[in-house]
Structure 1
């Protein structure tokens, strides 16, 4: 299997993967059509596909190169539309871009039809009556590809710093690298044509090597850049699922003590980010409900209890939080809320999203696995019983 076949096959896989998203939004539609055009263009470099087109249209028509270049222009236009939709949602020179495409296609078709092609390739300037038209054809194609790729490179690389995730930044970086290589592809074509026109000498083997290498590397870089952001989504999904799994035991214990905080609307199991969001909300609501059964003094005793049991300093806050929550869940069974007293502060207050989840995971781990947390409610119950019993004994002696 040759390299063009491998590249074309990889592009068709990406194109088929992106094709279902064509109805979702403008940027998704542009991206899907970019890869459909690229895949079709690279298919025309596969020897068997090129031979089939020549057999159908006639070898003298030289249809595969024309179709490949037209598809290349279309893919560049859709890619530019995609990056503008991502980086500049407000738009960028839409009328100018439409006009450029509207002029490029008819000029390419006209110059291609007027050129006097030879079996070895296009006839250069000075070798025939129609020799200027291959040069004009190449100039129009190269100019559009070059300008489109330069603008896309500027937008892609400029958008790297605005991406929120590492894989998102890497994806935009690879897309920018791919369009930069596309710009170099256009530049090397200009350089070789200029050398041929000025000196009359050509370097077809070197030109073909550079052209093929730059083109295929650019396409693979763009394909990799497109695949990385969805991978970032998959990583986020896996992280959310893992966090949800770790918070589930804390949620079960707290909502058992405060069942009224559980929302009734169901969420499908596959919508993990929404399930995690609701789990966090219900845990925090349960904490607010349960704190009404205990006083701030109990929180201080929980912290002292953790220190007495030699809990690690970096775990002490989470263990103390889990201690008073477990005690509050125990006291809530009596249904007597404490009034006229200060309640414990919530450790989750004032945190950003990342530190909030880290905190809740630490509290959940302490709540379900720390022997200190399991012992604390019994200690508090014994202390409360002793405190309640002392006045009775004093009173009886007074009688």
Structure 2
């Protein structure tokens, strides 16, 4: 199997994968159309396809024309995509529409007027029509070069704004692909300039550079397009895993404070939204349950966890789970306390990653730490008069 066939096949696979996203947003639609145009353009480089078109259509150089038109179209959609990602407010939309319209029109006019040499790829013509192939290639190359340079600038500039490592890598690889596309256009200009100025031709070198840069650029763009969706998939799996780990804590706390649970149901597939709601309800339950214990319980929980030779990173989470366990028990059998200081919430003041890590640690301690059960049993035993003073809250289990 030859390289053009492999490249075209890979592009069609990526295109089919991204096709359902066409209806999601303008950004996703531009991306899907970019891939479809690239895949169709590379299909016209497959030898069997070119042979079939040349054998059935009596128009010289039709496969290269179709390939170039699709290449220009894909560059326009790619530029539209990167602007939607990096500059949502837009960038020179009327200018871009005018540029693509003028480019396609001039390409068709110069193609019709050119005296093309029969067979093979597009070559410079002979006789009176010799200037038109030059103009045709100049228009095509200029649009590709300028659009790829602008896209490279936007892609690489957007890397620092991406929130995920895979997103940064995707934009970086897309920027590399468009940079290679710019180099493809520049080397085409260089070879034509050398030919027109000194009459020298280097067909083998030109074909090698052109093919290598073009295929590498297209594959880089295809790979870069795949990474941001993979980032979304990774975030989805991470959210599902976090939700699974927080579910036991949510069940215990909302059983003690059921009124914090929102009534609206959420589809199971909306995992990030379910995780957000789970976190909110856990924190609301903590706020409600802290009114059943005093800050002294929290202090005793810290002291108790510290004596259990736990690692420093576990002490605070185990202490949090200890007083929550006691509060959940008291919420079923007692009234709220008034006129006392309540325990501080360990989740307060944390950023999002730290907040989720903290809640996972508390959930793990609440459901599996023997220290939590032991502390809760001690707190539920009747207090002796000489124990910890009158402020200790004690109840029979």
TM-score interval w.r.t. the shorter chain? Answer: over 0.9
Residue 305 of structure 2 corresponds to residue 306 of structure 1? yes
Give the match for residue 240 of structure 1: 239
Given the superposition, is the C-alpha separation of residues 123 and 24 from structure 1 closer, same or farther in structure 2, using an over 3 Å criterion?
Answer: closer
Checking the alignment, whether the CA contact within 8 Å between 1:124 and 1:197 is kept in structure 2 is no
Contact 1:7/1:42, CA 8 A, preserved across alignment: yes
Shift of the alpha carbon at 1:62?
A: 1.7
Q: Which protein has the larger Cα radius of gyration, Structure 1 or Structure 2? A: 1
Match of residue 393 from structure 2: none
Structure 1 residues 129-208: aligned runs within 5 Å: 129-208=128-207
Q: Distance in 2 between matches of 1:296 and 1:151?
A: 60
For the Cα contact (< 8 Å) 2:266–2:274, is it kept in 1?
yes
- The CA distance in 2 between the partners of 1:373 and 1:351, in whole Å, is 24
Contact 2:64–2:122 (Cα < 8 Å) also in 1: no
Map Cα deviations across residues 200-252 of structure 1 (whole Å, 9 max, x no partner).
12111111111111000000000000000000001101111111111111111
Residues 37-186 of structure 1 correspond to what in structure 2 (within 5 A)?
37-58=37-58, 60-119=59-118, 124=124, 127-186=126-185
Q: Is 2:339 aligned against 1:340?
A: yes
Aligned residues of 2:116 and 2:124 also touching (Cα < 8 A)? no
Aligned counterparts of 2:73 and 2:122: Cα–Cα separation in 1: 22
Residue 9 (str. 1) matches residue 9 (str. 2)? yes
CA distance in 1, matches of 2:131, 2:388: 110
Distance (Å, rounded) in 2 between the aligned partners of 1:20 and 1:390: 65
Moved more, 355-364 or 24-33: 24-33
SS of 1:220 mapped into structure 2: helix
For residues 90-144 of structure 1, give each alpha carbon's deviation from its aligned partner in whole angstroms, at most 9, with x where no partner exists: 111111111111111111111111111123665647x411111111111111011
Distance in 1 between residues matched to 2:359 and 2:163, nearest whole Å = 23
Q: Cα–Cα, structure 1 residues 379 and 14, in superposed 2: closer, same or farther, change >3 Å?
A: same
Change (3 A) 1:282 1:128: same
CA RMSD of aligned residues (A): 1.7
Q: Secondary structure of the equivalent of 1:360? A: helix
Matches within 5 A, 1:191-340: 191-340=190-339
Distance 2:26 2:318 in 1: 50
Distance 1:14 1:306 in 2: 53
The 2-side partners of 1:98 and 1:91 are apart by 13
Q: TM-score, length-normalised on structure 1? A: 0.94
Moved more, 32-41 or 255-264: 255-264
Counterpart-to-counterpart distance in 1, 2:251 and 2:165? 34
Could you tell me whether the CA contact under 8 Å between 2:117 and 2:124 is conserved in 1? no
In 1: Cα distance, 2:306 partner to 2:84 partner: 55
Distance 1:83 1:178 in 2: 13
Normalization by structure 2: what TM-score? 0.94
| Equivalent of 1:386 in 370, 384, 389 | 384
Over residues 128-162 of structure 1, what are the superposed CA-to-partner deviations in whole Å (9 max), with x where a residue is unaligned?
11111111111111011100000000000010011
- 1:376 aligns with 375
After superposition, give the CA deviation of every residue in 1:179-212 in whole Å (9 maximum; x if it has no partner).
Answer: 0000000001001111111121211111111111
- The answer on whether the counterparts of 1:160 and 1:172 sit within 8 Å (CA) in structure 2 is yes
Unaligned runs of 5+ in 1: 392-399
Which SS does the other structure have where 1:167 is aligned? helix
Q: 5+ residue gaps in structure 2? A: 390-397
Aligned partners of 1:128 and 1:160: how far apart in 2? Answer: 50
Looking at structure 2, the residues matched to 307 and 195 of structure 1 have their Cα atoms a distance apart, in angstroms, of 79
Q: Describe the shift of the 1:212–1:390 C-alpha distance in structure 2 as closer, same or farther (beyond 3 A).
A: closer
Q: Secondary structure at the match of 2:264?
A: coil
Once residues 49 and 214 of structure 1 are traced to their aligned partners in structure 2, the CA distance between those partners, rounded to angstroms, is 22
Partner of 1:32 in structure 2? Answer: 32
